[in-house]
Structures are given as C-alpha cells and as structure tokens.
Amino acid sequence: MALSICRSVYGRSIRAAKRFQRVNLVQKQKRFLDLHEHHSKDLLARHNVRVQRGILATTPQEAKAAAVQLRKDGARDLICKSQILAGGRGKGHFVEDGFKGGVKVCDSPDEIEEMAGKMLGKHLVTNQTGPEGQFVAKVLIHEGVDFVKEFYLAFLLERAYDGPVIMGSPMGGMDIEEVAEEHPDKLKTLPIDLREGLTKATAMEMAEFVGFSKDAIDDACVQMQGLYDLFMKNDCVQVEINPFVETTKEHYDSKVYCVDAKLGFDDFAAYRNKEIFSWKDPSMEDPRELKAEEVGLNYVGLDGYIGCMVNGAGLAMSTMDVIKLHGGEPANFLDVGGGANEQQVEEAFKILTADPNVKGILINIFGGIMKCDVIAKGVIAAAKTVNLEALGIPLVVRLAGTNVDEGKALLNSSGLDIQAASDLDDAASKIVKASGN
C-alpha cells in the first residue's frame, strides 16, 4: 500500500520505479528530501510538537558527554540511535562485525559510550538499505520515555481526496504496510479540508479511533494540530510518526510524545525551504542520482542489467514494464525530461555506462518538446565520447514524434552500431536479446 502520495507525476513514477525490483533496493524517495531523525525532531519541536530531549554525537566520547548532560537534565532512560536514512534500525545489523541493533536502550553514560563505539564508522544494514547498508557517521543520544500505548500517525497527500489526509492506527511500532495488508480495519484515513485545516473534531475522531485514554486525548489532539501545522507550512509530502505514544501517568502525566519521526519534503518547493534543504545529507545518496540531479536529470538505480533512457516518467514506467515482459531486468529509471539538450544526453550516457551491471542500453524517445534530432545528436556524441562499442554495450534506439525522420537519418549516417526499433515492443525484444541474458 502506497502511504506517501506525491505531488507530481515524476514523484509518483520514481517512487514506483523504486518498488519495481523490491528485492534489495534502497528505499529512498527521490524528488523528495528525507531528513535524519535529529533534524526531523528539531523541526517538530519548532512547531510545538513534543519530542524527547536529545543531543547529537559523532564520537563515543561526545556520546558519553551527551548522556551525562541528559542525566543532569533529569532523563531517566538513555537511548543511542544510529542516524541513517532508513527504517528498521533497531532490528538491523552492522556489516563489519555483525553487531545487531542500531538502536540501544542503555543504563548509563558508560554504556552509551560503548554502544556508540560499536555503531559509529560502520555500515548498518536494515530491511530498507540493501546488503551494503548505510554508513553511520552520527548517533543521537536522547532520553527514553515510559509509555503505556503506542500508535501510528501520519499526514499525507492523497489523490483520492484531492488533498491532505490524516492516517492513524492503534498498531504503532509496526510496519504500517503490513498492518494495512493484514489488519485493514486497524487503519483509518480522514480527509482534511484545506479551508478549515485540521479541526478539533477530526483530531478527536482520530484520537478516539487509535485508542488514546481520556487522560491523554486532549493532548493528543494538540500534538496532531502541531504536526499538521508543520506539514502545511513546510511543503511536506509526508509526516509520519511511528510510534506516537501515550506515556505513563506516574512519571510523565499521560503526555503524548513523538518518539520517531519520518518527514518528506517536495523538492520542487526547495526555494521556499532553504534552511531545511541545507540539511540534506549527500553521503546517504546514490552518487549516480546526485550526478543526475546536478545536470537536471531524474535517475533511480535498480538492480537489473538494461539501462533505460526515456523522456517522460510514464514512458519510463512503460519501458521498464515491457522490458520485464520480454524477460529482461531494468538497471535504472533515467528520464531526460522534455527539454534536455545534447550535453544532458551525453551526461545520461556517462551515468548509464558507469554502472558495471549495465549490459545493454535502450533509448525510447517520444519527440514532443524534446525533438528526436536533438536526442539523436546527443546519442551520437555520447556514444563516441564513452566509446560504447569498445565497452561492448549494445544500443537500441526507438524514436517517434517531432523530427523523427531527421533523427533516424542522423543515427543511420553516424557509422555507429546502433539497432533501430520500430516500436517499444520491438525495442525491448532487441535489447533483451542483444544483452545476452
């Protein structure tokens, strides 16, 4: 079940591309900014949402000092959390030595120091990272809270309602996709009228559904309204709190806390949120995707062997589908867009051929704003620059639309070994055969 509903065709299609070969893909949301937990919680606090006190550390010694400070401030329990852009950290393991758990509850500052030493500088593997894991450069040391109930809460954009929704479940702390599949009655979605915002009545309905006690229900509504304020004022595509907890009455007076937060932001609104986008962590990104972003391309790496270059997100998805239909496996989603120039096409080739798994390249272009002769010139220049023939990578090109005859003529007279295709089905068949898999 897709829980993040995106604001653009590109975003939806790229997220779909991420799911195209789910076995070991890194689940990152391209065209959207993801933040580390410590940044997310800082932002939540700015909108008067209650989070645990925490201090960031980059060394075991800093982690111990942070724990000492939190104890002075009254923290009862201490937690050491690896900071990577993936979920499932608590159940993860580290590549280097097999140490299990990227989140540890500790009894003392000395234990915090020990746990930080076992996490920092290593690669944490979770069910969302792939086998290579993500590098842990920072840990968040924060106070623990005793809670009696944990819930799931999210604000999303939902096409079915033409706007934002609030989604909740009494089954917090679990994989929400699993909840949706196995316990659909435990998941509720309520639309939010943009003119009214999140009303007290809607917040109360959700709080009652997930199961807050009478002691905590008013505070839960206040926290929900703060989360909605954050969602709307920062161009979010997702605000997900899992778990959203009700603390014990004995120690925390039944207050509501956001224990873990996952925020996603629309890249197209970066100019309005410059501070937030300055928090982006390039070390967590696929370098190919960063390179594509630099030159104005949309790229998502997959785990197949046929490189795909298209113009248009929908065309990208259909191209990958037809490759699969013919028994092939797409190596990527690469959309050069409607206005790419020859230089961008050349850069696209460099990105494709930099992937050692690519055994063949399929170019599928429908010329509208992007003219076929421009693509052809870029293809020819790029094929010569990267010396495609010397690399032994076959190339199949299908062109249709504006200036298609001029484009085909350029390719035919190029002297390069380029297979022409009459349609997408023909193109997919030829590239799968030529790739030798």
| Residue-level pLDDT at 14 | 42
Look at residues 232, 222, 226, 158 and name the one whose alpha carbon lies nearest to residue 195: 232
Of the chain, the percentage scoring pLDDT greater than 90 comes to 51
Q: For residues 123 and 114, give the distance between their C-alpha atoms in angstroms, rounded to a whole number.
A: 17
| Residue-level pLDDT at 182 | 92
| Residue-level pLDDT at 19 | 40
Architecture of domain 53-144: 2-Layer Sandwich (3.30)
| Residue-level pLDDT at 340 | 65
Of the chain, the percentage scoring pLDDT greater than 70 comes to 91
pLDDT range class, residue 286, cuts 50, 70, 90: low
User: Which residue is catalytic, options 240, 246, 289, 347?
Assistant: 240
Q: Is the pLDDT of residue 22 over 60?
A: no
Q: Is the pLDDT of residue 437 over 80?
A: no
Which residues are CB-contacts of 28 (< 8 A; sequence separation ≥ 6)? Answer: 18, 34, 85, 284, 285, 286
Q: For residues 301 and 286, give the distance between their C-alpha atoms in angstroms, rounded to a whole number.
A: 8
132 noted as active-site residue: no
pLDDT range class, residue 5, cuts 50, 70, 90: very low
Q: Is the pLDDT of residue 335 over 70?
A: yes
Out of 205-219, 378-392, 400-414, give the one with best mean pLDDT: 205-219
Rounded to the nearest angstrom, the gap between the alpha carbon of residue 429 and the centroid of all alpha carbons in its chain is 32
Q: Is the pLDDT of residue 31 over 70?
A: no
| Residue-level pLDDT at 422 | 85
Out of 93-97, 302-306, 392-396, give the one with best mean pLDDT: 93-97
Q: Is the pLDDT of residue 108 over 90?
A: yes
294-314 average pLDDT score: 83
Segment 51-89, tens digit of pLDDT: 999 999 999 999 999 999 999 998 888 999 999 988 788
Domain residue ranges in the chain: 53-144, 147-277, 287-434
Helix and strand numbers, DSSP H then E, in the chain: 16, 20
Q: For residues 53 and 48, give the distance between their C-alpha atoms in angstroms, rounded to a whole number.
A: 13
396-421 average pLDDT score: 88
Beta pairing partners, 163: 158
Q: Is the pLDDT of residue 18 over 70?
A: no
Segment 168-180, tens digit of pLDDT: 999 998 878 889 8
Which residues are CB-contacts of 259 (< 8 A; sequence separation ≥ 6)? Answer: 52, 145, 147, 150, 241, 243, 244, 245
Q: Is the pLDDT of residue 23 over 60?
A: no
Task: Tell how strand 360-367 and strand 395-401 pair up.
Answer: parallel
- The CATH code that applies to domain 287-434 is 3.40.50.261
178-205 average pLDDT score: 94
Q: For residues 378 and 337, give the distance between their C-alpha atoms in angstroms, rounded to a whole number.
A: 14
pTM score > 0.85 for this model? no
Segment 384-407, tens digit of pLDDT: 888 887 888 999 999 888 888 898
| Residue-level pLDDT at 32 | 62
In CATH terms, 147-277 corresponds, of 3.40.50.620, 3.30.470.20, 3.90.470.10, 3.40.50.1360, to 3.30.470.20
| Residue-level pLDDT at 338 | 66
Q: For residues 308 and 26, give the distance between their C-alpha atoms in angstroms, rounded to a whole number.
A: 19
CA distances from 247 to 73, 89, 174, 435 (A): 19, 22, 18, 58
23-42 average pLDDT score: 63
143 noted as active-site residue: no
Q: For residues 256 and 145, give the distance between their C-alpha atoms in angstroms, rounded to a whole number.
A: 10
Positive or negative CA dihedral for 26, 17, 347, 396? positive
| Residue-level pLDDT at 8 | 37
Q: Which helix or strand (DSSP H or E) is residue 52 part of?
A: none
Q: Is the pLDDT of residue 154 over 80?
A: yes
| Residue-level pLDDT at 10 | 39
pLDDT range class, residue 201, cuts 50, 70, 90: very high
Segment 339-354, tens digit of pLDDT: 667 777 788 888 888 8
Kindly report the average pLDDT of the chain as a whole number.
86
92-103 average pLDDT score: 95
Residue 310 in contact with residue 335, Cβ under 8 Å? yes
- Which tokens in the block code for residue 389? 């023939």
User: Which residue is catalytic, options 10, 152, 252, 299?
Assistant: 152
| Residue-level pLDDT at 250 | 82
- Fill in the DSSP letter of residue 106: E
Q: Helix (H, G, I), strand (E, B), or coil: what is residue 275?
A: helix
Q: For residues 24 and 133, give the distance between their C-alpha atoms in angstroms, rounded to a whole number.
A: 10
| Residue-level pLDDT at 39 | 92
Q: Is the pLDDT of residue 150 over 70?
A: yes
Segment 357-380, tens digit of pLDDT: 899 999 998 877 778 888 888 888
